[in-house]
């Protein structure tokens, strides 16, 4: 019998929701790290009880936390102190220390072109597919880090910023590495998405990178319609069995690539609006995709005040609204880029959290929904673990 853990990061702490494989009755634990922003929690695919958490505060800085017992207890990996601050404020100890390849300055570091980069927070944590002690972290300003000791120490993979980094600009939410995808088939291949720079691909485990944005159009922000970088990508997703097929929710446009990011085409089709933040793929159906459209880049709420998840079973050619169990009037919440995920059970479960503090779950691929917890702080991220 499987146990499902839904890991919710919020503006004021982390919450862990557990249920059995039926996914009908949920137990809520938390808040962990009450009062802190928890930008992301992610469980290891190779160590079922290991969870990493990005704990952030504008006052105390950035801390990476780790649990090795399914979230019952937490600790900063390594020795104390564990606070992560701007470069000159790093702790003397080794715990959670982030090491930059660039030259540290006053709250900034610089690449070879003297472009300033400021360390603010960790947006995304991505444990490796084959080693519980290897984990990647996406930072704001845009930088990618890797730890080989379970999060105790970190080294930057600086080649990412050499992929035309001097041309990157922040989006409305900052300039962050917010998505990290590890290819389960092609060893060494990985993708990151940066707002507002675009998608970047490495085929050698992060030693070199190249932009992967051909076909993206950003007429409202970029004078060059064929610009190689500078696109505001909100989220990318892939299916494990077809990692060459990528799906993207962009700042205007839902997109698809069939050649590992070499080329993109629009699949917004009959969606009510092509603006939104999250996108994900069904665990067992690589052509089934989910998005949550919102009205516009200035009106971050569902069209007509009706919360609808849209599903395409054709890889984006046609979309259907999923509404059963979701509020269809006077609903003005948002669903952020990290706040939707799927489990690996059959039938596949879909989960998402809202800025209104609700977490919704579907145990039937999106056909029906239940609010499994409400009145949380604004939900920043939702991930799921299936534990046998």
Answer yes or no: are the C-beta atoms of 343 and 349 closer than 8 Å.
yes
Q: CA 107 to CA 235: how far, in whole Å?
A: 28
Q: Which of 25-29, 79-83, 339-343 has the lowest mean pLDDT?
A: 79-83
Say what percent of the chain tops pLDDT 90: 79
pLDDT for residue 101: 61
Q: What is the dihedral angle through the alpha carbons of 292, 293, 298, 303, rounded to the nearest 10 degrees?
A: -120
For 87-145, what is each residue's pLDDT tens digit? Answer: 333 333 344 667 666 533 334 555 555 556 678 899 999 999 999 999 999 999 899 99
pLDDT for residue 318: 96
Tokens 């879909």, residue located = 350
Give me the CATH topology for the region 75-374. Methylamine Dehydrogenase; Chain H (2.130.10)
- Please list, in sequence order, all residues whose beta carbon lies within 8 angstroms of the beta carbon of residue 299, skipping any fewer than 6 positions away: none
Tokens representing 187 are: 């060893």
Average per-residue pLDDT for the chain: 90
For 271-289, what is each residue's pLDDT tens digit? Answer: 999 999 999 999 999 999 9
For 303-351, what is each residue's pLDDT tens digit? Answer: 999 999 999 999 998 999 999 999 999 999 999 999 999 999 999 999 9
pTM of the model: 0.92
Answer yes or no: are the C-beta atoms of 23 and 43 closer than 8 Å.
no
The average pLDDT across 161-167 equals 91
pLDDT for residue 89: 33
Question: Which of 71, 171, 64, 66 has its CA nearest to residue 124?
Answer: 64
3-state SS record for 168-182:
CCCECCECEEEEEEE
Query: How many other C-beta atoms lie within 10 A of the C-beta of residue 45?
Result: 17
Question: Which of 172, 229, 241 has its CA nearest to residue 200?
Answer: 229
For 165-183, what is each residue's pLDDT tens digit? Answer: 989 988 888 899 999 999 9
φ, ψ of residue 4 in degrees (nearest 5): -105, 130
Tokens representing 209 are: 């990178």
The average pLDDT across 42-69 equals 91
- Gyration radius of the chain's alpha carbons: 19
Tokens representing 92 are: 């003397």
């Amino acid at each position: 019998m499987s146990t499902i853990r839904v890991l919710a990061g919020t503006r004021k702490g982390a919450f862990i929701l557990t249920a059995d494989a039926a996914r009908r009755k949920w137990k809520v634990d938390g808040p962990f790290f009450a009062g802190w922003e928890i930008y992301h929690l992610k469980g290891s695919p190779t160590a079922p009880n290991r969870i990493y958490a990005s704990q952030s505060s504008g006052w105390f800085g950035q801390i990476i936390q780790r649990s090795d017992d399914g979230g019952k207890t937490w600790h900063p990996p390594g020795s104390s102190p564990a606070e992560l601050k701007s470069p000159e404020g790093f702790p003397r100890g080794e715990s959670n220390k982030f090491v930059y390849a660039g030259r540290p300055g006053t709250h900034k570091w610089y690449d070879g072109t003297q472009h300033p980069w400021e360390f603010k927070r960790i947006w995304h944590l991505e444990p490796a597919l084959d080693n519980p002690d290897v984990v990647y972290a996406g930072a704001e300003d845009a930088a990618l880090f890797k730890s080989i000791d379970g999060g105790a120490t970190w080294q930057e993979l600086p080649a990412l910023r050499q992929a035309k980094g001097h041309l990157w600009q922040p989006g409305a939410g900052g300039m962050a590495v917010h998505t990290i995808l590890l290819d389960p088939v092609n060893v060494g291949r990985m993708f990151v998405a940066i707002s507002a720079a675009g998608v970047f691909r490495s085929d050698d485990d992060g030693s070199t990178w190249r932009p992967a944005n051909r076909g993206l159009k950003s007429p409202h922000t970029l004078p060059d319609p064929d610009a190689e970088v500078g696109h505001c990508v909100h989220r990318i997703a892939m299916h494990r069995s077809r990692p060459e097929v990528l799906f993207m929710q962009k700042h205007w446009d839902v997109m698809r690539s069939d050649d590992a990011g070499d080329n993109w085409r629009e699949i917004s089709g009959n969606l009510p609006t092509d603006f939104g933040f999250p996108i994900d793929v069904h665990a067992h159906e690589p052509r089934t995709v989910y998005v949550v459209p919102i009205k516009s880049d200035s009106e971050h709420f569902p069209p007509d005040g009706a919360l609808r998840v849209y599903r395409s079973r054709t890889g984006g050619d046609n979309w259907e609204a999923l509404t059963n169990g979701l509020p269809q009037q006077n609903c003005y919440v948002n669903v952020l880029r990290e706040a939707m995920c799927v489990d690996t059970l059959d039938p596949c479960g879909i989960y998402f959290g809202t800025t209104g503090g609700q977490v919704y779950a579907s145990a039937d691929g999106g056909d029906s929904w239940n609010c499994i917890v409400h009145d949380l702080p604004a939900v920043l991220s939702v991930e799921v673990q299936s534990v046998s």
